C-alpha cells in the first residue's frame, strides 16, 4: 500500500494530490462496475465526487468568476436581467465580467485548484480514458450555469419551464449542440464523447434537479412513446450533496425541472458542464468547443456551411476527415447525411467504393484511388499496412504503365521501320 497525500474521498479511496502523482500509485475512483453501469443506463451519478475541500474551493471559484450566490442576486435586485449564459445571474464577485467558459481565475490561490480543477480532475480524466478506451482524449467543454429560486418555473436561461411551446425545455439529447456528428439512439452510443454535470452545491427537492432517463426507459420506435411521458415513471432526479458528478452521454435523454418555491423558497443551483471526447485524428470534429455548435455560429450557419462546403473546406474548417478516411463507413456516412440534409455524400461514397474495390481485388489496380487514399488515410497503425500496399501497387501500376508505353513506342517504331 502506498502512502501519499490524498484528498480523501468519503469511501476511503484516494487521489494523489498534484505534484505527488509521479510517486504515488493512482487509485481508480470510478470503478469498472460503475463504468459498466454508465454504459448500461446512459448515466452515472457519483455523489460527492469532489472532496469537501475541493467542492468548497470550486464553489468559491464559481462565485468569483461566473455569478454570485442567491443573496447577491437578491441584493442586486433579483432582476430578471440579461446576464451570463444568456439568462439571469448575479455579478461575479471578483472577475470583471461573468466568465462562463473554462479556464477561470484562481483569485483565492485555492489549495485544491479552485474552479479549474473540476474539468481536469485526475479521477475524471481517469474515468473518461477508461470509458472512451484510450488515453488520447481531450477536454472539449467546461462551462458554468446557475439557476436561482424563482417562482413560476423560471429557469436560468430566461425561459419558463416546462415550456410546452418549446420542446427544447423538455426531455432531449444534447448531441445537437455538442457535436456536428450524427444523431443516434442512446443505446447506439459509441461512448467516444462523454458529457457530465457537476452540481457544485447540494441539490435538494425543489431545487430544479436535472432529470435523467435510463436507456431501458427509452423506446423511441414504439408508437406513442415520448420521453416526457416515460419520465413520469422512469427518470431519476439528480438530488445530491455538493461536488457530485453525473456522467451522461450526448445521446442520453434528460431534462431540466421546475424550481419549486413552495418547497425551496430561496437558494440557487450552480452547475458546471464538462465534456470529453476521443482525440484521435479522425475524431477531432467531435466536440471540441470551437468545432461544435456550442462554440460559435448558429443552426442556420452550421447547416449552410456543412451543406455547401467542399470536402477540403469541411476538412480545414471543422477537421472533418477527407473522403477515403476509415471514418466514412457506409453506416457513419448514412447517419451523418441523416443529420445534415443537403450534404453531398457522393465524394465520401465514391472514395470508399474505390478503396473497397481496391482491397477486394488484392490491390492490383491502385489507379486514382491509390493517390487519393495515400493522401487521405489517417496515419494510424491499422492504415500503415494498407498504405504500404497502396504505395507498392501505385508503383507497380506506374512501372507497368511505363513498360506498356515503352512497348507501344517499340511497336510504333518497328511499324515505321517496316513501312520504309
Ligand atoms: O440545468 C438544467 O436544469 C438542465 C440542463 C440541461 O438539460 C442541459 O444542459 O441539457
254 lines ligand 1 (CB under 6 A): yes
Question: Could you identify the atom of ligand 1 that is nearest to the CA of residue 255?
Answer: 7
With vertex at residue 194, the alpha carbon angle to CA 196 and CA 8, rounded to the nearest 5 degrees, is 50
Cα distances (Å, whole numbers) of residue 282 to 28, 279, 318, 327, 328: 29, 8, 11, 7, 10
CATH fold for domain 28-291: Jelly Rolls (2.60.120)
Question: Could you identify the atom of ligand 1 that is nearest to the CA of residue 208?
Answer: 3
| Angstrom distance (rounded) from CA 289 to CA 319 | 13
Residue spans of the domains in the chain: they are: 28-291, 305-394
Q: HEC states along 165-191?
A: CCHHHCCECCHHHHCCCCCCCHHHCCC
pTM, full prediction: 0.79
Q: 417: CA distance to ligand 1 center in Å?
A: 85
The pLDDT tens digits for 75-94 are 998 866 555 455 678 899 99
| Angstrom distance (rounded) from CA 333 to CA 176 | 17
208 lines ligand 1 (CB under 6 A): yes
Q: 210: CA distance to ligand 1 center in Å?
A: 6
Q: 173: CA distance to ligand 1 center in Å?
A: 10
Closest residue by Cα to residue 275 from 328, 197, 215: 197
Q: 235: CA distance to ligand 1 center in Å?
A: 14
Question: Could you identify the atom of ligand 1 that is nearest to the CA of residue 254?
Answer: 7
Q: What is the pLDDT averaged over residues 195-207?
A: 96
Nearest CA owner, ligand 1 atom 10 = 174
Q: 154: CA distance to ligand 1 center in Å?
A: 13
Asked which of 21-35, 47-61, 185-199, 256-270 is least confident by mean pLDDT, the reply is 21-35
The pLDDT tens digits for 208-236 are 899 999 988 887 677 777 766 666 667 89
Q: What is the pLDDT averaged over residues 261-288?
A: 93
Share of the chain above pLDDT 70, in %: 70
Sequence-separated (6 or more) residues with CB below 8 Å from residue 225 = 218, 219
pLDDT at 150: 80
256 lines ligand 1 (CB under 6 A): yes
pLDDT at 14: 43
Closest residue by Cα to residue 119 from 49, 215, 37: 49
| pLDDT averaged over every residue in the chain | 80
The pLDDT tens digits for 95-140 are 998 898 999 999 999 999 999 999 999 999 999 999 999 999 999 9
Amino acid at each position: 500500500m502506498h502512502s501519499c497525500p490524498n484528498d480523501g474521498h468519503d469511501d476511503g479511496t484516494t487521489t494523489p494530490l498534484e505534484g505527488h502523482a509521479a510517486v504515488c500509485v493512482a487509485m481508480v475512483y470510478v470503478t469498472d462496475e460503475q463504468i459498466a453501469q454508465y454504459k448500461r443506463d446512459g448515466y452515472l451519478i457519483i455523489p460527492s465526487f469532489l472532496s469537501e475541500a475541493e467542492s468548497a474551493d470550486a464553489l468559491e471559484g464559481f462565485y468569483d468568476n461566473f455569478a454570485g450566490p442567491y443573496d447577491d442576486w437578491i441584493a442586486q435586485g433579483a432582476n430578471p436581467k440579461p446576464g451570463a449564459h444568456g439568462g439571469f445571474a448575479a455579478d461575479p464577485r471578483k472577475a470583471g465580467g461573468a466568465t462562463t467558459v473554462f479556464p477561470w481565475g484562481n483569485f483565492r490561490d485555492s489549495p485544491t485548484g479552485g474552479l479549474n480543477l473540476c474539468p481536469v480532475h485526475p479521477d475524471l480524466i481517469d474515468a473518461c480514458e477508461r470509458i472512451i478506451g484510450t488515453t488520447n482524449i481531450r477536454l472539449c467543454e467546461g462551462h458554468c450555469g446557475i439557476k436561482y429560486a424563482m417562482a413560476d418555473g423560471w429557469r436560468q436561461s430566461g425561459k419558463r419551464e416546462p415550456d410546452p411551446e418549446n420542446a427544447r425545455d423538455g426531455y432531449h439529447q444534447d448531441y445537437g449542440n455538442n457535436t456536428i456528428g450524427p444523431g443516434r439512439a442512446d443505446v447506439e452510443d459509441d461512448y467516444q464523447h462523454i458529457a457530465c454535470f457537476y452540481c457544485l452545491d447540494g441539490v435538494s427537492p425543489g431545487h430544479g434537479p436535472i432529470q435523467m432517463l435510463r436507456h431501458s426507459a427509452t423506446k423511441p420506435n414504439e408508437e406513442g412513446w415520448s420521453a416526457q411521458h416515460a419520465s413520469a415513471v422512469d427518470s431519476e432526479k439528480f438530488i445530491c450533496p455538493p461536488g457530485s458528478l453525473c456522467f451522461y452521454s450526448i445521446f442520453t435523454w434528460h431534462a431540466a425541472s421546475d424550481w419549486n418555491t413552495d418547497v425551496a423558497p430561496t437558494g440557487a443551483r450552480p452547475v458546471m458542464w464538462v465534456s470529453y471526447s476521443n482525440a484521435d485524428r479522425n475524431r477531432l470534429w467531435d466536440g471540441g468547443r470551437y468545432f461544435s455548435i456550442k462554440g460559435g455560429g448558429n443552426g442556420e450557419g452550421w447547416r449552410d456551411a456543412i451543406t455547401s462546403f467542399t470536402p477540403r473546406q469541411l476538412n480545414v474548417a471543422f477537421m472533418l476527415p477527407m473522403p477515403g478516411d476509415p471514418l466514412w463507413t457506409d453506416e457513419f456516412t448514412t447517419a451523418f447525411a441523416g443529420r445534415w440534409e443537403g450534404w453531398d455524400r457522393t465524394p465520401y461514397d465514391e472514395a470508399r467504393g474505390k478503396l473497397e474495390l481496391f482491397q477486394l481485388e488484392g490491390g492490383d489496380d491502385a489507379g486514382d484511388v491509390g493517390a487519393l487514399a495515400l493522401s487521405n488515410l489517417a496515419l494510424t497503425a491499422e492504415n500503415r499496412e494498407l498504405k504500404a500496399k497502396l504505395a507498392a501497387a501505385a508503383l507497380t501500376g506506374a512501372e507497368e504503365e511505363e513498360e506498356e508505353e515503352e512497348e507501344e513506342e517499340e511497336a510504333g517504331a518497328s511499324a515505321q521501320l517496316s513501312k520504309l
